[in-house]
Structure 1
Amino acid sequence: MATISGDPIATAPGTAVRGRPRTGPRPHPVSRWSWLWLLVGAGLLPFASMQTLIPLAAWVAPVFLMRFTRSQRPAIGLPVLVVAMCLALLVGARDGFFPMENGIGYYLFVVTLGVGGAVPFAVDRVLAPWLSGLSRTLVFPAAVTAVELVGAISSAYGTAGSTAYSQYAGLPLLQLASVTGIWGLTFLVSWLAPVLNQLWEQGWSGSGSRGPVVAFAAVLTAALLFGGVQLAFAAPAAETVRVAALAPDRQLSDLAYSAPDLTTADPAERAAVRDEYLRPVLDELFQRSEREAVADARIIAWSEAAVRTLEEEQTAVVARAADLARRHGVYLQVSMIVQLADAGDESDGGAVNENHAVLLGPSGTVVWDYQKSKPTPGDGQEPGPGVVPTVDTPYGRLATIICQDDFFPGLVRQAGRAGVDILLVPSSDWRSIAGWHAQQAPFRAVENGVALVRPTRQGISLATDAQGRLLGHKADYVVASEQTLVVSVPTRGTDTWYPRAGDTVAWASVVGLLVLTGAAWGARRRSRDGAGPAARTGSDQAERPALLDGLPPR
C-alpha cells in the first residue's frame, strides 16, 4: 500500500492533504519499488569508489539511489541512505584500506564519509521539487562537486575518493581534466542521475525531460570529441630520455622497517641497528642505481621511503648519492625516511621522522631536498613547506612531489604553472590501496601536461605521458625480487588550461548551487502566496516535473 504524506513527491494518489483545499493535481505515491532501487544502487556503490573501481558503476549507482530518495519521504529515505552508504564504505574500505585502527574513531570516520556522500541527495530532495526543466537536473551535480571541494579543502586525504577518479580507464574522457581538473568529470558523471530520473518520472514526451537529456548528451559528446582530438592530434612528439624507477628489494625493505625502536637508543645502539637492519637495503639500491646509470639511464629515481636512515647518517647518504651522480653524469633522486635523533614519543603527536626526496645533479650538487607536503595521518611526520621544486635539465624541466601529495591538485598545479615536463612522484603504498592509488596518479599528469614517473614501494610503479598514456608499469612488488622499472619518457610536456583556470569549475558549482537554492526558495514562497505551482495552468503546468504534481496550495 502507498503511504500518505504531506511531502510534495511522496504522497498517496487521490488523497487530499488534511487542512488544505484540494485544488491541485493528484499527489504522487510513495513507490513500493523504491526499496529495490535502493538495493541496486547500494550494491553498486562499493564499485564506484575506493579499491575496486568499475567505471560504469559510478554513473549508474546514483541513478537508483536518487530514484529511492525521490520516491520516499525524506524522514525515511535519507537516514536509510546514510546507513547504506556507510555499509558500502565498510566494504570498499576493507582490508585496512584507511591507515586507521578499528575502533570508535574509525567508525565515526566512516559515518562522516557516509553523511557527506548522502548530502547531495538530501540537497536534491529539498530543492529539486521546486525547480523544473534543466535547472532541476543541475542541483545534484552541483551539490556533489561542492561537497567534494569542501572535502578536498578540509580532509587530510585531499581529493582521494573523488567521483572523477572512477573514470581512470577512459582516456578520451580523462582529457577533460586538462581543462577543468577533476571537477568537470565529477560534475558530468553526477549529472546523469537527475537527467535519467527526470526522464523516468516524465517520459520522453514530457517537455521538461527532453531539454536536459539533449543538454547532457551534447556536453558528454563534446567532452569525448575533445578528448579524442587531443589524443589523436596533440600527442607528445618530443625526444625521450631513459628513466629508471627503483623500488627497494622487498625482503631487505621489510628488514629495515622491522628494526627496533630507536627513540630511546644511545648512539652505539643506533649504529648497531643501522649496520644490521638499515644498511643492506641502502647498499642494494646504490648497486642497482649504478647498474642503471651504466645502462645509460639519465634520470634515476627511488621510491618513497626506499631507505630508512638515521638523522646522523643523512649527510653521508646524500654524499654517497652525489658521488654516484657525478661519476656517471646522471640525475639521481634518493628518497629516505630519516629517523630523528631527538624524536619523542609518537603517541604524543610529535614528529619522529622526516620524509625526504633529495635530487643530485650530474655535478654532484644537491638540486633540491624536498620534504613531503601532505603526510599521511599517522606517519609521524611534520609537513614540508608545500613548495614544489623545479630544475631545468637537458631532458626538460623536472619537479617532484611525494606520494599522497598527488591527492592535492592545488599543490601539484605549481608544476603545471611552472611548465614542468617530467614530474617524479616517489610513492609507497600497501596492498589494499596499491591499484586504486596507481589509477589516480595519472590525473595529475593530464591536468598539468606533464609526463609522470612513479617509483612505488609496496605498490605499482608506473610512468605515463602528459595525456595519461601508460608508458610502463611494474605491478608485482609483493612477489618479485627485482623492483626496477625502466621507461623512455618524453622530455617535453604540453600546455593545458587547468594550471591557469584552477578550481574554477568547482567554485562555479558552489555559486550555481547557491543560485539554484535561491530559485527554489523563490518558487516555494510564490507557492505559499498562491501563485506557485498549484496555480499554474496551460503550458506552464505541462512543463512541471511529474513528481511535483502533488504540491498542494498553501
Structure 2
Amino acid sequence: MLSGPVFRIDLTGWLIPIGILYFTRSSHPLKGYLWAVLFMMIISVIGGLFTSPLPIVAIIISAPIAAFPEMVPYLIDRFMHRRLSPLLASILFPAVAVSLEYMMSTIFSSIGILASTQTHFVEMIQWASVAGVYGISFIMYWTASTLVGWMLSEEDSPLNYKPWLITILMILLFGAIRINTTSEIKDTVKVAGIAVEEFSIWEAVYQNVYGEEIEINVHNANSPEMGKILAAIPEYLKDPENEKYEQTNLALKDFGDQLLSLSANEADAGSRIIVWSETNLPILQKDESGFILKAQELAVEKEVFLSISMGVFLPYNESGPMYENKAILISPEGKVLDNYEKAKPVPFMDSSLPGDGIIAKVETDYGILTQAICYDADFPPLMAQASGADILLLPANDWLGISPYHGDNSVFRAVENGVSIVRPTGSGQSVIFDPYGRALSRVEAFDKEVRIINAYVPINGCSTIFSFIGNLIVWISMMCTAVLITMVIINYFKSRSS
C-alpha cells in the first residue's frame, strides 16, 4: 500500500520483500507462509478501500485470491534455499517471483507487480529498455534474497553478494548514462490531448429516466451518484428515440460539438496531432458514421491528425456488451487511418466489446503513429506491437483512487518500446512521456471539467534492446526455476536413498 497508489513511497517497494522474506526464512515454513498471506490480505483490503471502486465485499473476497499465489515464491524459497548454495538460493527467489508475476499479469495485467512501484526511479526505469518491466522486478527480488541471505548467514562471504552488487551497480550506471547522454531532440511535433468530463450527459440521462435531478461530484467520477447513473443508461438504450430522452440526445450532440470545437482551437494554436481521452464521446451507433464525417471535415480544414475516442452504444442487449470502445485516427486528408477497439476491457467494470488486439502502425510526416486504449497498456506482450513506432496515442480513463499511479505506469511501455506516449485521461491525470520515460507534460484531473494537455513530442522514437529480445528475462527465470527446483528434488532423493 505504501508503495502503491495511496502513498507512493517508492522505497517501500524495495523494503517490503526484504521484510517478508526475512520473516518467512526465520519462521516455520507453513506458519510463516500463512502469516505472510494474512499480512498481504490486510494490505490488499486497506489499499482497496482507498483505490478500488468495487464494493467492500468484492475487495475482501479478492484479497485471498491475490495473496495466496503472491506469497508462493516465499514458500518455495523457505523450503529450498537451505538446499542450495547461497548464490543459487539468491537466484531462486527472484526467478520464481518473476515467473509467477508474468503468468499472473498475462491474466490480471502488470499493474501491481513489484516493478510498478518504481515510476519515479528514472535511472532504474531505463533498465526496462533492456529487460522490460519484469527485469526491474527481478533485480528488486534479487536484492531482497541477497540481503536477507547476508543478514541470516553465519558465513559473511562477499562472494555471496558480489554478483548482485556488480549487477545492480551496472544497471544504475547504465540508466544514469542513458538518461543523461541523449542527444538534443530537434524534430518535434506539437500534440494536444483533450479530456472533458461527460457529467452533463449522465445527469441528463438520469433525469430523463427517473424524472429527478442528480449532481455528480466533479472530484470523484466513481461517486455513488455515478453508480445510479450506470443503472440508468441501459434504460435509455432500450428506447433512445423516445421523446422523453430529447434532453439526453441534445446533450450528446452538444458534447460532440464541444469536443470538435476544442479540437479546432488546439489546431489553431499549432497542435498537429490531437487526441481525445478514452470514450470521451458517448454516441449512439446510428449516429457514429455522421459524427465521423464531421471529424473528417475538421481534420481536413485544420490539416491535423485527429484521434477521436468514442464509446459507441450498441442496441440494447440485456446480457451482451453495452458499447464499443474506439479510437479512430483521421489524417489531414480526411482518411480514416486506424479504427482501434480496446482489446482488454477492465474486468467487472468495463462492459465494452473487446477488440482484436491488433495494434496498427501508420506512417506520417510526424513519425510512425500507433494507438491503444488505457488498460491495454498494462499488458506488455500486447504493447510490444508498438515497438518500431514513434508516438503512441493512448486515450485513457482513470479514477481518483488510482490517479496518477496508473498513468505513470505507462512510462514502462514508453521505455520498453522506445516510443513517446500521449495519454489524455478522463477522471485522472493526463501525461505525455518521451521515449526515455521523461514526463514532458502533466495536467491534473480534479480541478476542472475541461482539461487540455500540450507538449512538443519527438517525432522519432529510439531503438531498444527489449524490442529485439522481448521478455527474455522471464524465460530465463522460468528455466532457472525449473532447473533449481529439479536440482533440489534430485539431491533430496539422493540423500534419502543413501
TM over 0.5: yes
How far off is 1:449 after superposition? 0.3
Question: 5 Å matches for 1:506-517?
Answer: 506-517=474-485
Q: Tell me if 1:101 matches 2:55.
A: yes
Q: Tell me if 1:344 matches 2:317.
A: yes
CA distance in 2, matches of 1:92, 1:298: 40
| Deviations 1:256-286 (CA, angstroms, capped at 9, x unpaired) | 7757432321523486254343223222211
Which residue is equivalent to 2:360? 389
Which residue is equivalent to 2:134? 183
CA distance in 1, matches of 2:489, 2:76: 13
How far off is 1:53 after superposition? 2.4
> Which AA in structure 1 matches 2:462?
T
| Deviations 1:82-116 (CA, angstroms, capped at 9, x unpaired) | 11110011122223x3343332x543321111112
CA contact (8 A) 2:30 2:75 kept: no
CA contact (8 A) 1:256 1:278 kept: no
SS in 1 for 2:353: coil
> Which AA in structure 1 matches 2:9?
I
CA distance in 2, matches of 1:266, 1:401: 30
> Which AA in structure 2 matches 1:309?
I
| Deviations 1:215-269 (CA, angstroms, capped at 9, x unpaired) | 1110101101111111122346241101010001464465477574323215234
Task: Tell me which structure has the larger Cα radius of gyration.
Answer: 1
CA distance in 2, matches of 1:71, 1:60: 17
CA contact (8 A) 1:63 1:193 kept: yes
Which residue is equivalent to 2:210? none
Which residue is equivalent to 1:452? 421
Which residue is equivalent to 1:334? 308
CA contact (8 A) 1:51 1:93 kept: no
CA distance in 1, matches of 2:393, 2:350: 21
Which residue is equivalent to 2:224? none
**Cα 1:503–1:448 shift into 2, 3 Å:** same
| Same amino acid, percent of matched pairs | 30
1:310 to 267, 277, 284: 284
Q: Tell me if 1:66 matches 2:21.
A: yes
Which residue is equivalent to 2:223? none
**Cα 1:213–1:288 shift into 2, 3 Å:** same
Question: 5 Å matches for 1:5-16?
Answer: none
CA contact (8 A) 2:190 2:271 kept: yes
Which residue is equivalent to 1:367? 337
CA contact (8 A) 2:197 2:427 kept: no
**Cα 1:107–1:246 shift into 2, 3 Å:** same
How far off is 1:211 after superposition? 1.8
How far off is 1:81 after superposition? 1.1
1:198 to 149, 152, 167: 149
Question: 5 Å matches for 1:380-419?
Answer: 380-416=351-387, 419=388
> Which AA in structure 1 matches 2:120?
A
CA distance in 2, matches of 1:273, 1:509: 58
CA contact (8 A) 2:390 2:419 kept: yes
How far off is 1:126 after superposition? 1.3
SS in 1 for 2:120: coil
CA contact (8 A) 1:52 1:92 kept: no
Question: 5 Å matches for 1:42-53?
Answer: 46-53=1-8
CA distance in 2, matches of 1:254, 1:267: 17
CA contact (8 A) 1:423 1:452 kept: yes
Stretch of structure 1 that moved more, 283-292 or 453-462: 283-292
CA distance in 1, matches of 2:240, 2:261: 30
Q: Tell me if 1:233 matches 2:233.
A: no
SS in 2 for 1:263: helix
CA distance in 1, matches of 2:18, 2:382: 33
CA contact (8 A) 1:48 1:61 kept: no
> Which AA in structure 1 matches 2:28?
R
In structure 1, stretches of 5+ residues that fail to align are 1-45, 531-554
CA distance in 2, matches of 1:451, 1:389: 16
CA contact (8 A) 1:238 1:491 kept: no
Question: 5 Å matches for 1:196-345?
Answer: 196-202=147-153, 205-207=155-157, 210-235=158-183, 237-249=185-197, 251-252=199-200, 255=203, 258=206, 260-261=232-233, 262-269=236-243, 272-341=246-315, 343-345=316-318
Which residue is equivalent to 1:84? 39
SS in 1 for 2:455: strand
SS in 2 for 1:301: strand
**Cα 1:84–1:235 shift into 2, 3 Å:** farther
> Which AA in structure 2 matches 1:460?
Q
**Cα 1:139–1:236 shift into 2, 3 Å:** farther
| Deviations 1:456-491 (CA, angstroms, capped at 9, x unpaired) | 00001110110001100101x222244011111011
**Cα 1:253–1:405 shift into 2, 3 Å:** farther
CA contact (8 A) 1:162 1:186 kept: yes
Aligned residues: 471
2:488 to 499, 520, 524: 520
Stretch of structure 1 that moved more, 398-407 or 137-146: 137-146
Q: Tell me if 1:147 matches 2:100.
A: yes
Q: Tell me if 1:165 matches 2:116.
A: yes
> Which AA in structure 2 matches 1:414?
Q
> Which AA in structure 2 matches 1:144?
A
CA distance in 2, matches of 1:391, 1:470: 24
CA distance in 2, matches of 1:496, 1:289: 33
SS in 2 for 1:479: coil
CA contact (8 A) 2:49 2:56 kept: no
> Which AA in structure 1 matches 2:264?
E
| Deviations 1:180-214 (CA, angstroms, capped at 9, x unpaired) | 111110000011111111111125x533xx22321
> Which AA in structure 2 matches 1:55?
D
Coordinate RMSD, CA, aligned: 1.8
> Which AA in structure 2 matches 1:127?
M
CA distance in 1, matches of 2:254, 2:323: 20
> Which AA in structure 1 matches 2:324?
E
Which residue is equivalent to 2:441? 472
> Which AA in structure 2 matches 1:245?
G
Stretch of structure 1 that moved more, 178-187 or 270-279: 270-279
TM-score by length of 1: 0.82
CA distance in 2, matches of 1:373, 1:270: 35
| Deviations 1:55-98 (CA, angstroms, capped at 9, x unpaired) | 11111111121111111112311111111110011122223x33
Which residue is equivalent to 1:40? none
CA contact (8 A) 1:361 1:367 kept: yes
CA distance in 2, matches of 1:384, 1:73: 48
In structure 2, stretches of 5+ residues that fail to align are 207-228
**Cα 1:315–1:491 shift into 2, 3 Å:** same
Which residue is equivalent to 1:546? none
SS in 1 for 2:289: helix
**Cα 1:248–1:64 shift into 2, 3 Å:** same
SS in 2 for 1:523: helix
